[in-house]
Amino acid sequence: MSPHNNSVLTSYTEEQRAKAMERFRLIRPYLEGETSLSTIALDTSVSLRTLQRWAQYYRKGGLQALVTKERFDRGSRKYHLKSLK
């Protein structure tokens, strides 16, 4: 199994591409039916739930879906209504 359309990653930084490829490398054996996500979780420091999400993202959107999205609220504080009173 090869990553879906690797050319769509050209608009991302080298760091983002590397992270997406690392995620794919981790879930690839599962996608190819070689092992379970539980086994991968036990062999790595990645939680089962995270691996499940990555596999889901990959199936829906290919390699591009494994790129970490930048948060628009990064660096801003969250305020709860109770704390503002």
State residue 41's pLDDT score: 98
State residue 3's pLDDT score: 56
Contact 5, 61 (CB under 8 A): no
**Mean pLDDT in runs of 10 for the chain (85 residues)?**
61 92 98 98 97 97 89 66 60
State residue 9's pLDDT score: 77
The whole-angstrom separation of Cα 11 and Cα 1 is: 23
- Condensed to tens digits (0 to 9), the pLDDT of residues 8-23 reads 678 889 999 999 999 9
Taking alpha carbons only, the member of 81, 82, 78, 37 closest to residue 59 is 37
pTM: 0.74
